[in-house]
Structure formats: structure tokens, C-alpha cells
Chains A and B, each alone.
Chain A
Amino acid sequence: MSGYNFAYLDEQTKRMIRRAILKAVAIPGHQVPFGAREMPLPYGWGTGGIQVTAAILGQDDVLKVIDQGADDTTNAVSIRRFFARTAGVATTTRTTKATVIQTRHRIPETPLRADQILVYQVPLPEPLAKLEPSRAETRQMHALAEYGLMHVKLYEDIARFGHIAISYDYPVMVNGRYLMSPSPIPAFDTPKMHRMPALQLFGAGREKRIYAVPPFTSVRPLDFDDHPFRLIRAPHPCALCGARDSYLDEVLTDDRGGRMFVCSDTDYCASRRDIAEAAGEAA
């Protein structure tokens, strides 16, 4: 695609975004404002993540894009195509082959490595926004690490439901200092962030914020001593690959209420089936 700079953004914008990223990496979990650019996609389609990806992508990178764990949704396909065109980079659906993975709402099941970068699309970067409407006040709370209010929210959940009823976007403490929104990933994925070897970058386009979790950084879900964070997973194996450790989507199979549970991470599921098939042929 001629007329565009490599990866669409001009070099000056990329440098500005990289400076924000460096700052974000230096202060794990802290939201850094950046001058977000208009992208040829509407907000809500991952413009924050796309700008971060554009700023870090190099010629030799291999890009994977997932949306809710799947590589083949409209959103994932169009972002992947966008970078294939504007940057000419190789793309893949294989987690193990990717060097940069942009994601909406999931973390791949396959553990990530230190030579990979995970870029999250973030709709609402401020974890306290729903509890404290004032921006000035939430900024103050972060500055002073005053996070009692977040625990009030958890307290209310337990008082009302008997347990902490947050299944997505579970609030976490990063490096024991900053309260952070992990983006709307399922609570099931939260533990994967803890001491992850890969660099994790978060881009919020509409809110113009970038934040980061450097490799091997502590990421802890908020909880109470007597109501610790618990992993919740549908009690089924994947109907396609039999996995018992993966996050599952419930899929309707007909209009009479038939349904099944399958891996939400399509690459993980396919890889497991490939391996099983190969083993079956070998036998």
C-alpha cells in the first residue's frame, strides 16, 4: 500500500508512542497519557492496541491478532490485514510462531515467552472510574496508592452474593504498587499475567492511555484473606480437543437448546487436535 509510512503511523507519532511505552514500562501499571491519533478504524475496534502495535512493529516481526481468543473474527482479520498491508509483516495464527500478539479480551493458553510481546486493546483503562467519577480524585488515589475504595467494591460483592462476583476485568495490583485494569479478559486469565516472561502492553485509544507490565513482574488479583481470588472455569472438557485446563466458550449447536463447550483459544484447540491426530496416525 503506497502513500503510507511503514505500519501506517508516521515516524514522529511512533516515536511519541514509544516514549509513552518506555515510561509505562518504567512505572509498571501506571497509566501514561499519550497523544492518540485518529486511526482508520472506529474507537472500540482496538485503536489503542493498534497504535501500540504500529509503534513497536519491525520488519521481521510475526504478528498474531486475536479477538475473544479467535483469530478468525472480523475484528481480528481486519487488524491483521491492516498490518500485512501497511507494514508488510508476516502474520500467523500460531501463538508459538508470533513475536507480537495483539489481543482483545483473552490471553493465549500457550504460555508466552520472553521474546514475545502481548498488546492488549483496552476500552476503559481506569479501574476506579466506576467507583469514583472524578478524574482528579482517581489520579490522586493512584499517586498515593489509596486503593481502599476498590476493596469496598469487593466487600459489597461478598455482602451481596457471598463471593467476589467479578468475572471480567478483575482488578489487579502491579508490582505491589499500582492498581490496574487488565482489560476485559476473563478473571480466569488473570493469573497468566503474573510474572509472565513476555512484555505486556496496554493501549486505550479513546481514553488516550498506555500502560505496561514488564516481563516477570508481579500481578496480583485483589482479594480478602478470608475470600481469596479463585479460578472459575466451566466444569467440562473442551468438546473438540478434550482440554480440561482451557477457558471455554459455550456454543449453541441447534435451535433446540443444544450446546457444547469448546476452547475459546482457537489456536490452542487446533494445535491440540493436530497433535492428537499425529499421534493417532503414528500409532
Chain B
Amino acid sequence: MNAPLLDAPLLEARDLRLSFGSIRALDGVNATLWPGEVLAIVGESGSGKTTLLNVLSGRARPDMGQAIYRDPEGAAHDVHAMPAPQLRALHRSDWGFVHQNPRDALRMGVSAGGNVGERLMAQGARHYGSIRDTAIDRLRQVEISADRIDDLPRTFSGGMLQRLQIARTLATHPRLVFMDEPTGGLDVSVQARLLDLIRSLVARLGIAVVLVTHDIAVARLLAGRILVMRHGQVVETGLTDQVLDDPQHPYTQLLVSSVLQA
């Protein structure tokens, strides 16, 4: 669809730096995300993955450096220089954010359909029937049966809640979705189903994803490229298979081997 733009990155991190007191959570991070690709950010706990995701998505401000987003018209925007209304609008339309805990994103007192429809209504949709039709469509996409549309999220299982969060995000056809440990906290079998679903959705809809995970297996399954973080720095980056099959940096070697042992 955006063929002429494929040669321009969708999102770029340029020398991002952010410290919390003496902790350098981001210590000069550069990264590039291309349209339609899944980029995994891996690394041990405390390495700065969530911080990077938050800074890239404009939810947190860096001390230095820039995050550059290219819109569908090809115009580049410094995420942190964008006026608040514009950034908020972006988060409700072209972007999505999938939290580890779906309860952080969903309105637990609002039905599944209302949760999915919220982004449409925020964009000005004012036809109940078509909002509902879209909600049913998005629920189907995440394998939630249409007859659950009026149920409250609290009646959903953990895996369903996570799928509902994804359906809510998909309502507006986002081009870029940020995910922070989307399968964390779920049973292994539920995880596997959700990973399959994310993989097929992303491929079918051509969505670009920045995926934070500490699980190398998740990165291998979903991500075309991988970025390995340690102490706020990128120690290695490249095609997922290449990096994982033939890690160059000792830290990556350690990460990969610890997975093999597990």
C-alpha cells in the first residue's frame, strides 16, 4: 500500500539518552523500524527495554536525542516536539499500544464492543450500527466470538483480555503498534495461541511492531529483526535468525545459551 515509502524508515531513534538519577536507562540508543516489520527489543530485566518503548512512543521524554516518526504522507515528525493534541491523536489512530497487563488499557466497566468502539468514537464515528459492525469484525480477527460483544471484560479469561486489548488497538487500522511483553503473565499454552494470532495478524494487516520481550523464543517467532539491549545500550542488532544463530556479542551469546539451557 505504502510501496513508495518502503525505502524510508517508519520510526527512528537517534542517540536517545535518559537517566534516572545515576541509572542510565537509555545510553545513546539508535534504532530503525521499517514499515511492516516486527522489531524485537530483548535484554535482561532492567536493561531499558520498557524505557525505550516509552520514549519511542512519546509516553516518556528523553534527556537527549530524538525519535522520528514518518506519517503516511511521508512527512517526518519529532515525536517529542509534536504538540500534545497531535501526539494523542496519533496514539488513537495510526498507533497502538499493547500493555503487558490488559487491565491497564481496557475500560473494565465497559463492554467488549464499547472497548473496541472507543477509538472509532474518539475519531468521530457517530453511527452506532457501523461502530458495532466494526467491533464485531475486530473481535472476530482476534478470535473472540461475536456473541461476547456485550459482555464485560471481567468475564473474560487472561488470554481473551489480551486479545480484546489487541482488537481495541486494531479498531482504527494502526500502522504501528508498540507491545510491551504482550504474552507475559499468561499460561504457556495460552501464550502460544496468542503468539500465533499476533504473527498472522501482523503479517496479514502489514502492521509494523516494536515488541519488547525478555523471551528470546518470542522474538524468534515474531520478529524479523532484533535489537539486544544491556545497561541502556544496544549491544547487537540485525536479522533475528542471524543474531540468534550466530551471536557476535558475548552478552548475546550468554542470552541465547541461557535460553538453550532453560
Contacts and interface: CB of A to CB of B under 8 A. Distances in A.
A234 interface: no
A149 B110 CA distance: 10
A160 B107 CA distance: 16
B254 interface: no
Nearest to A158: B128
A159 interface: yes
B126 A159 contact: no
Contacts of A156: 110-111, 114
Contact of B128 (A144, A148, A149, A224): A224
Contacts of A144: 84-85, 88
Contacts of A148: 92, 118-119, 121-123
Chain B: interface size category: 20 to 34
Interface residues of A, number: 16
Given A148-B118, A148-B123, A155 B128 contact: yes
A156 B109 CA distance: 10
Contacts of A151: 121, 126
Contacts of B41: none
A187 to B, nearest CB: 18
B150 A146 contact: no
Interface string A132-173: 000000001000101011011001101110000000000000
A160 B110 CA distance: 11
Contacts of A146: 88, 122
Please list the 7 inter-chain residue pairs (A to B) with the smallest Cβ-Cβ separation, ordered nearest first.
A148-B122, A151-B121, A148-B121, A224-B128, A144-B85, A225-B127, A152-B114
15 contacts: A149-B118, A149-B121, A149-B122, A152-B107, A152-B110, A152-B117, A152-B121, A155-B114, A156-B110, A156-B111, A158-B128, A159-B114, A160-B111, A160-B150, A227-B128
Interface of B: 84-85, 88, 92, 107, 110-111, 113-114, 117-119, 121-123, 126-129, 131-132, 149-150
